[in-house]
A = this chain, B = another copy of it.
Amino acid sequence: MKVLITGIDGYSGWPLALHLLGRGHEVVGIDNFVTRKRVKEVGSWSGTPIGTFPQRQEAVQRLLGKSIQFYKGDVTRYPFVVDVVRREKPDAIVHLAEQRSAPYSMIDVDHAVRTQVENLTGTLHLLYAIREASPETHLVKMGTMGEYGTPDVDIPEGFFEVDYRGRHDRLPFPRQAGSWYHWSKVFDSGDVMFATKIWDLKSTDVMQGVIYGTRTPEITDDALLTRFDFDETWGTALNRFAVEAVLGLPITPYGRGGQVRGFIALEDSVQSLRIAIENPPKRGEYRVLNQFDAAYSINELAELTHRIATDLGLSPRIEHMPDPRVEAEQHYYNPIHELLPALGYQRSRNLEDVLREIFRDLIRFRRRLEKRRHVVMPTVEWRHADNVGRLNTRHAPAPASAAATPATAPEPAVDTSHTPA
């Protein structure tokens, strides 16, 4: 099959491309390199050294004997999007080209607006481009388990059967997101559901759990590494915990640490997306998949990180800090995830093994992390309307106009300061 990946230069886009190539699929990519730019804006960089995109393409050619067709551009420009879709007519589009950081969206009003505007604009553009130029294309849209929030009932896969005041219906499950970013994904879900209905499209809305890991089987060489973010804005809790342990900083769960979320290994996330692509829905079907492997509390992550770090001879300590987010610190959490297993999904990695692998990589790249140790600890307080003065930035946030113009400044080429183990 031919698969177009928007955001192919990103954390999960890149290993997805490698996996699909390994399975014999044809891969086309779009990116505007805005994540590289924005990570730099908050004073950070990828914990793993990654090449420029041309260097990545060259590595794929050299190591795997495959090529990736690439279009540099921004999904918020409709003529660009429809042109690529018309030219390529892919079997599937995996849409990963969205602003993906909840803390980034909470910095201030400009970041809130930019996140929601960019994300829904890109999704609307893809929907219209498919309708206009390639209506058989299956859209695989990246949402988040965070769309659902933490209701006191089980969380179904998108829809649920409801009895209310003596009548019955099957309805979309209510969304209660916890950041402007998470709400932007809720909005996307509404637009994808509606477009699928009125235009008879094929769509899969992936309620993605938090992804962890630095590797997939296809990453056989450092030149094929994917990015790894660990700063307060772009890193996940688990990434930050591991980097904190490596750098001798305290491991810092927010609040009481009873917050539970769904997680999945990078390799299994990529597997799941490949399964969704290879098993498309029918025309007119809007399919929602809860894509996570297991649920863990923040305390469980902190304690596992602590144990592995101790095994490795580090001297970790856990220090709870006030929760900057607005979220329940103890709650019921039982999301259903049955559709992917029914399509053939099987767990290939477990959290402990992957976390040990993450530590191996981080220790190899320790000097790279040391140079950015000041960006790990959180400063953005979600109850504040304006956090610009609090951010540990070396650079001011981008001007508001950045939302309308494609960001094209590449990240500096591969950093060579790390000493391979």
Chain A interface residues (CB < 8 Å from chain B): 78, 108-110, 112-113, 116-117, 120-121, 124-125, 128, 131-132, 151-154, 156, 160, 162-165, 167-169, 171-178, 180, 183, 186-187, 190-191, 194, 197-199, 326, 332, 382-383, 385-386, 404
Count the copies: 2
Residue ID in chain B nearest A155 by CB atoms: B164
Which residues of chain B are near A165, meaning CB under 8 Å?
Answer: 153-154
Which residues of chain B are near A112, meaning CB under 8 Å?
Answer: 124, 128
Contact A125:B113 (CB < 8 A) given known A171-B174, A172-B175: yes
Residue ID in chain B nearest A112 by CB atoms: B124
Q: How far is the CB of A213 from chain B (nearest CB, A)?
A: 30
Distance, CA A194 to CA B156, complexed state (A)? 22
List 5 other contacts, CB 8 Å, given A171-B176, A172-B175: A109-B124, A116-B187, A154-B165, A186-B190, A198-B382
Q: How far is the CB of A260 from chain B (nearest CB, A)?
A: 15
Residue ID in chain B nearest A152 by CB atoms: B169
Partner of A385, one of B173, B176, B199, B326: B199
- Whether A168 and B153, one on each chain, are in contact in the complex, defined by CB atoms closer than 8 angstroms, is yes
Distance, CA A163 to CA B169, complexed state (A)? 13
Partner of A128, one of B120, B125, B385: B385
Q: How far is the CB of A44 from chain B (nearest CB, A)?
A: 25
Distance, CA A164 to CA B173, complexed state (A)? 11
Contact A151:B171 (CB < 8 A) given known A190-B177, A404-B404: yes
Q: How far is the CB of A324 from chain B (nearest CB, A)?
A: 11
Distance, CA A176 to CA B186, complexed state (A)? 12
Partner of A383, one of B187, B199, B383: B199
Which residues of chain B are near A187, meaning CB under 8 Å?
Answer: 116, 120, 183, 186-187, 190
With most chain B CB atoms within 10 A of its CB, the pick from A78, A156, A187 is A187
Contact A167:B183 (CB < 8 A) given known A109-B125, A128-B385, A177-B190: no
Distance, CA A386 to CA B176, complexed state (A)? 33
Residue ID in chain B nearest A332 by CB atoms: B167
Which residues of chain B are near A171, meaning CB under 8 Å?
Answer: 151, 153, 174, 176
Distance, CA A156 to CA B164, complexed state (A)? 10
Residue ID in chain B nearest A325 by CB atoms: B198
- Whether A132 and B386, one on each chain, are in contact in the complex, defined by CB atoms closer than 8 angstroms, is yes
- Whether A154 and B160, one on each chain, are in contact in the complex, defined by CB atoms closer than 8 angstroms, is no
Which residues of chain B are near A154, meaning CB under 8 Å?
Answer: 164-165, 167
Which residues of chain B are near A186, meaning CB under 8 Å?
Answer: 187, 190
Residue ID in chain B nearest A383 by CB atoms: B198
- Whether B113 and A121, one on each chain, are in contact in the complex, defined by CB atoms closer than 8 angstroms, is yes
Q: How far is the CB of A210 from chain B (nearest CB, A)?
A: 20
- Whether A124 and B116, one on each chain, are in contact in the complex, defined by CB atoms closer than 8 angstroms, is yes
Partner of A183, one of B174, B183, B194: B194
Contact A326:B197 (CB < 8 A) given known A174-B174, A177-B190, A187-B187: yes
Q: How far is the CB of A194 from chain B (nearest CB, A)?
A: 6
- Whether A167 and B152, one on each chain, are in contact in the complex, defined by CB atoms closer than 8 angstroms, is yes
Q: How far is the CB of A235 from chain B (nearest CB, A)?
A: 22
Q: How far is the CB of A148 from chain B (nearest CB, A)?
A: 10
Q: How far is the CB of A74 from chain B (nearest CB, A)?
A: 13
Distance, CA A183 to CA B199, complexed state (A)? 16
